[in-house]
C-alpha cells in the first residue's frame, strides 16, 4: 500500500500528518482554521500546537501532498492557505482504508480514521472495521501461541495481557464501532 511507503519515510508520528490532510478534505484552509477544526472535532483525541502545525505543513508541502498560496487581505496580514493535492488525497484515502498496524497507536489513529469516515460520509468504514478486527484476531492468535509455549511466569503474564487486550479491542470494534456505522 502506498501509505505504508510514505509512512516509513515520514518522521515521528506520521498519523498526525494524515489528520492534517484530513482537515483539508472539505477544501482549502489556513493554519488557524485547521487548528480550529481539530480542536472542535477531535479535541478528545488530538492536539496540535501552532508551532508543530507549521513545521508539519511545510513537510507536507515539500512532499507535494499539499499546496500553499498566499491570500492577501487589505486590513490584516496575508495568510497562507493550504489545499490537498491529488496525491495527498489519494494517500489519505489509502491510509483511511488501512488497518492500524501498531496497537499502541490504535486509540488516536483509528478514532481519527472513524471520525473522517463519519464526518465526510466516506464509504468503507465497515470494511476498515472488519480488516482491523481480522488483523487484531491474527495478532491475538500469535500471542496466545506464545503464551502456551512460554515457560517463564512473568513473560506468560505479559502475553496473557496482550491477548486480553486484543480481545477487548476486537470486542469494542464489534460491539461499538461496527454498530455505530450500521446506525448511520
Model pLDDT for residues 135-176, shown as the tens digit of each residue: 999 999 999 998 888 899 999 999 999 999 999 999 999 999
For residue 70, give every residue at least 6 positions away whose Cβ sits within 8 Å of its Cβ, in sequence order, or none: 78, 79, 80, 81
According to the model, what pLDDT value does residue 11 have? 47
pLDDT of residue 71 exceeding 90, the answer is no
Report the first-to-last Cα separation within the chain, whole angstroms: 28
CA distance linking residue 37 with residue 44, whole number of Å:
13
pLDDT in tens, 24-44: 999 999 999 999 999 999 988
For residue 161, give every residue at least 6 positions away whose Cβ sits within 8 Å of its Cβ, in sequence order, or none: none
The CATH architecture one would assign to domain 1-122 is Orthogonal Bundle (1.10)
130: cell is 472488519
91: cell is 494517500
What mean pLDDT value characterizes the chain? Answer: 91
Where in the chain are the domains? 1-122, 124-184
pLDDT of residue 78 exceeding 90, the answer is no
CA distance linking residue 184 with residue 2, whole number of Å:
29
DSSP reduced 3-state for 66: strand
Contact 87, 62 (CB under 8 A): no
Binned at pLDDT 50, 70 and 90, residue 12 comes out as very low
3-state helix/strand/coil string of 157-173: HHHHHHHHHHHHHHHHH
pLDDT in tens, 112-131: 999 999 999 999 999 999 99
- The residue count of the chain comes to 184
Contact 16, 48 (CB under 8 A): yes
137: cell is 484476531
DSSP of 99-113, one letter per residue? --S-GGGHHHHHHHH
159: cell is 502475553
Amino acid at each position: 500500500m502506498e501509505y505504508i511507503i510514505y509512512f516509513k519515510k515520514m518522521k515521528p508520528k506520521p498519523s498526525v500528518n494524515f489528520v492534517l490532510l484530513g482537515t483539508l478534505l472539505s477544501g482549502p484552509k489556513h493554519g488557524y482554521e485547521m487548528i480550529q477544526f481539530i480542536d472542535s472535532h477531535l479535541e478528545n483525541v488530538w492536539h496540535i500546537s501552532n508551532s508543530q502545525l507549521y513545521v508539519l505543513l511545510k513537510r507536507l508541502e515539500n512532499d507535494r501532498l499539499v499546496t500553499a498560496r498566499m491570500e492577501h487581505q487589505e486590513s490584516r496580514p496575508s495568510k497562507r492557505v493550504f489545499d490537498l493535492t491529488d496525491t495527498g488525497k489519494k494517500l489519505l484515502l489509502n491510509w483511511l482504508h488501512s488497518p492500524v498496524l501498531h496497537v499502541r497507536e490504535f486509540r488516536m489513529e483509528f478514532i481519527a480514521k472513524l471520525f473522517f469516515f463519519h464526518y465526510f460520509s466516506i464509504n468503507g468504514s465497515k470494511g476498515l472495521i472488519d480488516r482491523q478486527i481480522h488483523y487484531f484476531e491474527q495478532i491475538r492468535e500469535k500471542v496466545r501461541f506464545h503464551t502456551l509455549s512460554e515457560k517463564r511466569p512473568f513473560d506468560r503474564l505479559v502475553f496473557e495481557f496482550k491477548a486480553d487486550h486484543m480481545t477487548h479491542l476486537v470486542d469494542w470494534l464489534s460491539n461499538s464501532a461496527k454498530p455505530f456505522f450500521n446506525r448511520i
